[in-house]
Structure 1
Amino acid sequence: MEASRAPGWSHDNDIAPAVLAIGRPSFPQTLIETLRRIAGVGHCMVFTFDDDRSARCLLDIGNIPIGPDLGAAYSGHFHLADPNRDTIFRERASVSPFVLPAFARRMYSARYAKIFFEDADIVDKFATAIWVDRTCFYVNFYRTLDQGRFNSHQVERLKGIAPGLGAAVARHFQAQAPSDHNPFHKLEVLFSTSAPLTRLTCREREVCLRILSGFSSEAISADLGISLQSTFTYRKRAYKKLGIVSQNELFAIALRLLASPHRLN
């Protein structure tokens, strides 16, 4: 007997996979796959704003090769020029997720538009945000030149799922908050914030994180749900980007960054 669904339920709008992945290493990949299925999203980036109004990039995943560079530039100082920033801080007292104004190129300065749209081939953007205590989670969904802009149907779908996904993103990163007693969490923050590790794609980061955590190649494949050959491929690509050839050199990079007094404060 087939299970019944609530009225109005649609598999096309189902965000359950992303919600069920909260707190797990697979969350970023599940999130982007959910976004692609529902609304044809090409790339997703998550930033946070804190009480001191500083910004930090928590997530960069999808089809934009220079995503890590964009995350670093935005966190560095370009967040000050984001036209959504004023709206985000005006909504500080809100307890629910909110959708940011529709994307329009004229909202952005020429320099901002060149770096974040022209150089990255971004042609459209949809954004949502949610304040949790003193931290705002700012979630951005992008379409690139080869995809074209979001159509009206995709925009309506995003409006429907954005609040739920925004809350899921906030919950995931709260669950993954770094702890002095959890080395894996420290390493996750390291890969999200410290060069040269920020050059890696999400999958390359996930593989390297597990190498540093003592996983064998077989265990990495099982944990991520990928083939052994894929694990070898992601490791090879990561090592090439980092300019290394061995696990020992990967450990050396991580230990050097962990020892830096300017990291993970």
Structure 2
Amino acid sequence: MDADPRTTSEQAPLPQPSKSWIEAVAGLVRASGTESFPAALRTCLEQVCPFDSMVVSTYTDNAAPVALYHDLDEMSAAVTVQFYATGPYLLDPFYLACRNNVEPGAYRLLDLAPKDFLRSNYYATFFRKIRIHDEMAILLRERENAWIAISLARSRRQRRFDEADRDRLNRILPIVEAGAMRTWHADRQAVPATDTAPQDRLRGFARDLLSRREAEIVQMILQGHSTPSIATELGIAEGTVKVHRHHAYSKLGIRSQSELFALMTRYLIETGL
């Protein structure tokens, strides 16, 4: 059985119970269940793991994600919140982890993403374009098919999140979960769901043009898999993957992964995701 990527042989120590840490936790307790909770949560989390921005979203049933809080500027919010919710979230490793019922907790982006994810057009769109260097998310399960994702991002001037950062967040997970559930679980309005599962709609992309195998490989390319990764996952030769990719691109009238990503996002927007 594979080891849980959130744990290490030596747990990273929590900050000493300094005055600022005690005040941050006290503020979080006082703000629980109120409109002040997101700001108090941000202050508390920064005591444990420094970051530059925070977005809180919900993934509920078959509905598109809903942002409950963010501290982004207008341009970053347009990409990370508005554009993301039109459909590209279906390729997000954190969203996919929730759909696959991952164990609740804190995860680094690279704990969940395919090996070559940093070369994908998804990464280029949602990270490089708005100068985000790395991301970590605290994933909380409200109930079956309903999650709260607290996403923390670091800009390019900071180092990537490491195992110690992740482990410290996991050690305060009960505090975060208790406050988040009290604040957002009971008060927010129900999100309208669609009749069709989002992944089924994504699989509908170019289905009338591509063979089953071509469509499968296109989906994996969009998720950030490389040719070797696809070959390993599907149990086929790398040359076979390249042939299917060439045929798929030819049928779609494109020549690159960036054109594929643009075509897919246009499809998601036009189909109303």
TM-score, normalised to structure 2's length? Answer: 0.52
Q: Equivalent of 1:168, from 176, 179, 183?
A: 179
Match of 1:98 in 2: 105
Q: How far does residue 36 in structure 1 lie from its aligned partner after superposition? A: 1.9
Over residues 10-39 of structure 1, what are the superposed CA-to-partner deviations in whole Å (9 max), with x where a residue is unaligned? Answer: 344864422331222222221222222221
**CA–CA distance in structure 2, aligned partners of residues 152 and 84 of structure 1:** 17
**CA–CA distance in structure 2, aligned partners of residues 158 and 43 of structure 1:** 16
Q: How far does residue 80 in structure 1 lie from its aligned partner after superposition? A: 0.6
What pairs with 1:98-247 in structure 2 (closer than 5 Å)? Answer: 98-100=105-107, 102-103=109-110, 106-107=116-117, 110-134=120-144, 135-178=146-189
Alpha-carbon contact 2:79-2:126 (below 8 Å) kept = no
State whether structure 2 residue 86 is matched by structure 1 residue 76: yes
State whether structure 2 residue 28 is matched by structure 1 residue 21: no
SS across alignment from 2:147: strand
Q: How far does residue 81 in structure 1 lie from its aligned partner after superposition? A: 0.6
Q: How far does residue 53 in structure 1 lie from its aligned partner after superposition? A: 4.8
SS across alignment from 2:135: strand
Q: Equivalent of 1:44, from 54, 62, 68?
A: 54
Q: How far does residue 69 in structure 1 lie from its aligned partner after superposition? A: 3.3
**CA–CA distance in structure 1, aligned partners of residues 130 and 174 of structure 2:** 26
State whether structure 2 residue 67 is matched by structure 1 residue 57: yes
SS across alignment from 1:132: strand
Q: How far does residue 67 in structure 1 lie from its aligned partner after superposition? A: 2.9
**CA–CA distance in structure 2, aligned partners of residues 175 and 68 of structure 1:** 28
Q: 1:50 to 1:175 in 2, by over 3 A?
A: closer
SS across alignment from 2:71: strand
**RMSD (Å), alpha carbons:** 3.1
Q: 1:172 to 1:68 in 2, by over 3 A?
A: farther
Over residues 64-93 of structure 1, what are the superposed CA-to-partner deviations in whole Å (9 max), with x where a residue is unaligned? Answer: 96135311122111111112333212227x
Identity of aligned residues (%): 21
SS across alignment from 2:171: helix
Q: How far does residue 167 in structure 1 lie from its aligned partner after superposition? A: 4.2
Match of 1:86 in 2: 96
Structure 1 unaligned regions, length at least 5? 1-7, 180-265
**CA–CA distance in structure 2, aligned partners of residues 159 and 147 of structure 1:** 21
Q: How far does residue 150 in structure 1 lie from its aligned partner after superposition? A: 3.0
Q: How far does residue 170 in structure 1 lie from its aligned partner after superposition? A: 3.1
The structure that has the greater radius of gyration is 2
**CA–CA distance in structure 1, aligned partners of residues 118 and 65 of structure 2:** 18
Q: 1:165 to 1:10 in 2, by over 3 A?
A: same
Alpha-carbon contact 2:55-2:69 (below 8 Å) kept = yes
Structure 2 unaligned regions, length at least 5? 1-14, 191-273
Q: 1:16 to 1:78 in 2, by over 3 A?
A: farther
Alpha-carbon contact 2:33-2:183 (below 8 Å) kept = yes
Q: 1:84 to 1:29 in 2, by over 3 A?
A: closer
**CA–CA distance in structure 2, aligned partners of residues 152 and 87 of structure 1:** 18
Q: How far does residue 152 in structure 1 lie from its aligned partner after superposition? A: 4.9
**CA–CA distance in structure 1, aligned partners of residues 36 and 82 of structure 2:** 23
Alpha-carbon contact 2:57-2:66 (below 8 Å) kept = yes
Q: How far does residue 100 in structure 1 lie from its aligned partner after superposition? A: 3.3
Q: How far does residue 40 in structure 1 lie from its aligned partner after superposition? A: 0.7
Over residues 200-232 of structure 1, what are the superposed CA-to-partner deviations in whole Å (9 max), with x where a residue is unaligned? Answer: xxxxxxxxxxxxxxxxxxxxxxxxxxxxxxxxx
Q: 1:51 to 1:148 in 2, by over 3 A?
A: same
> Which moved further from structure 2: 55-64 or 120-129?
55-64
Alpha-carbon contact 1:36-1:42 (below 8 Å) kept = no
Over residues 153-173 of structure 1, what are the superposed CA-to-partner deviations in whole Å (9 max), with x where a residue is unaligned? Answer: 433322322453244223211
> Which protein, 1 or 2, shows the higher relative CO under an 8 Å CA cutoff with sep ≥ 6?
2
